[in-house]
Chain A
Amino acid sequence: MEARRQRDPAFSEVPAPPSVAASGPAFPCIVLDRVSLRFQSERRRVQALSDISLSIAEGEFVALLGPTGCGKSSLLRLVSDLLAPTAGTIAVRGEPAAAARRLNQFGFVFQEPALLSWRTTLGNVQLPLEVVGYPPEKRIARCEELLDSVGLLKFKDAYPHELSGGMKQRAAMVRALAWNPSILLMDEPFTALDELTRGQLQDDLLQLWNHERKTILFVTHNISEAIYLADRIVVMSPHPGRIKTVLRPDLPRPRTDDFHETQEFMKWTRMAREALRS
């Protein structure tokens, strides 16, 4: 956190050239190499993703920005081995994605909280720990600690239908972090929330990320959300899903609400919008 705050602001004003995987970071965590994905439906083929090359560094916060249908969600499912690419390779820490999945390196958060209605908050958060094989005696302590960090400890015995939308999504976030996976995959996690709650959850996420530095792949179609959160923004275009350009705002952290009014923020929002439109 300190290191980021002290980063030279003058330097960060110089936009890094929009570049793709070629200028790969020093410690790549996720590497996609010419990945394509085709869905074969009964009547026609759908090219969901075409020739995606991307390298994501350890601990980096990357946003995938693009309109609906550009295959950003499919990209998350490829990285986490829920889908297999029709061409190209995916490596997670030097291993195939399937190996990383077996090692429980992924924490998945969806647009909807997707909690189990018959389990309490605590029970929902504990679910992955039961599967992953986390030591039972540590489960509750770990979950309560995490719930406390997002202000949900009071609601640990509540059922999902008794929670607000924001609380449910917080619980889903905690569930994805419970066994301490190194990579967080977020599929438009805040889209279904109201503006105010979304802002709070964005800050919660940044705080969590500061606390336990994870590699985050964050899908969104919201420009300001991408700029507010990410180190790097991968702008995608649909039909077929391609990487259009990669923006590296490199703006100072920590970011607070005021950040939305800064010149920098405005400038990058404009750039991202133009990149999306072109």
Chain B
Amino acid sequence: MDAHGPRGVAIMSDAAPTIQNRLRDEILPPLIILALALGFWELSVKILDIPPWLLPAPSDVVDRFFKTTTLWYHTGLTVLEALAGFAVSAVLGVSLSAGIVHSRFLERGVFPYVIVSNAIPIIAIIPLLTIWFGFGIAPKIMICSIISFFPIVTNTTRGLKATDRRIIEFMRSINATRLEILLKVQLPSALPFIFASFKIAASLALVGAVVAEFYSSDRGLGYLIITSATQLRTDLLFVAIVVLAALGVSSFMLFGYLERVTTRGERSDETQ
């Protein structure tokens, strides 16, 4: 959860490499490894003559990817659920954190329940929400929001509290209101923490959506996974997994990028 090791960031904020250098140093090695692994897999399947229901060759998976016309429909739905749930959590979580930082009462009264929300296994709530809200999109959004709530609240609260005490003193000495301190000082300085939590929360929301679809759905990537598994359409199963992985990686990269941008310079010299 903590991606703020001063060491890690110091490496990132080293002299800006040129695009060619980055291509060569950072992008190329994983691509080479991937190509080797896929080649090995393809060859093994062909040579050992493994049946496709057990392990399809990468080429079969790619083939299936392009042939599955409903893939984007299912993907879109899952992304929609995850995004909506995540957005609800982001708004509520950051607001609640702001409240917690400004009120001792709220901190003591609410924080135990934030922890409880994390302790309840999400799987256990899905049937309940299905009883209450049916098989539609609403319970899935709720699941995504519940599952992503905890990391957002804890990290944002930590970030807001980590604000330089002297800047807050300075703001108070010029009679700044609490809202001004929050908006001009605390929130901006907590942004790296917030984006770090979004990084985790977004992938959790995606998991939440898929798991919720396992239980009760006739559409979405979760549904696609369950049906292709029961029908032993393993190639389709792989397609769904790859799409999910790609979604997870892109959200991780997006928020990781935002985290780095907002951290700019701060940690390399201020915190030793």
Contacts and interface: CB of A to CB of B under 8 A. Distances in A.
Given A82-B169, A108-B169, A160-B265, A116 B189 contact: yes
B268 interface: yes
B170 interface: yes
Q: Which of A80, A128, A131 has the most CB of B within 10 A?
A: A131
Contacts of A161: 264-266, 268-270
Given A114-B166, A116-B189, A131-B184, A104 B175 contact: yes
B185 interface: yes
B31 to A, nearest CB: 33
Nearest to B262: A118
B189 A118 contact: yes
A101 B171 CA distance: 11
Contact of A104 (B174, B269, B270): B174
B104 to A, nearest CB: 15
A118 B188 contact: yes
Contacts of B174: 101, 104, 106, 108, 128, 131-132, 179
Interface SS of chain B: helix
Given A130-B184, A131-B184, A117 B173 contact: no
Contacts of B171: 131
Contacts of A265: none
Nearest to A81: B173
Nearest to B176: A131
Interface residues of B, number: 24
Interface string B190-216: 010000000000000000000000000
Nearest to B180: A131
Interface in B127-155: none
Contacts of B269: 161
A160 B266 CA distance: 8
A127 B169 contact: no
Contact of A82 (B167, B173, B176): B173
A110 interface: yes
A110 B270 contact: no
Contacts of B166: 110, 112, 114
A117 B264 contact: yes
B46 interface: no
B172 interface: yes
Interface residues of A, number: 28
B175 A102 contact: yes
A101 B175 contact: yes
A110 B170 contact: yes
Contacts of B63: none
Given A118-B262, A162-B265, A108 B170 contact: yes
B191 to A, nearest CB: 8
A185 to B, nearest CB: 8
B164 interface: yes
Q: Which of A112, A161, A175 has the most CB of B within 10 A?
A: A161
Contacts of A110: 166, 169-170
A113 B189 CA distance: 16
Contacts of A209: none
Contacts of A118: 188-189, 191, 262, 264, 266
A116 B166 CA distance: 11
Interface string B251-268: 000000000001011101
A98 to B, nearest CB: 9
B247 to A, nearest CB: 30
Contacts of A81: 173
Contacts of A132: 174-175
A155 interface: no
A112 B266 CA distance: 14
Contacts of A80: 173
Contact of B266 (A117, A130, A175): A117
A116 B185 contact: yes
Q: Which of B171, B173, B262 has the most CB of A within 10 A?
A: B173
6 contacts: A82-B169, A82-B173, A116-B188, A131-B171, A131-B180, A132-B174
Interface of A: 77, 80-82, 101-102, 104, 106, 108, 110, 112, 114, 116-118, 127-128, 130-132, 159-162, 175-176, 179, 185
Given A112-B166, A131-B184, 8 more contacts: A101-B173, A114-B166, A116-B185, A117-B189, A118-B188, A132-B175, A160-B265, A175-B170
6 closest cross-chain pairs (CB), A and B: A161-B265, A117-B266, A114-B166, A131-B176, A108-B173, A110-B166
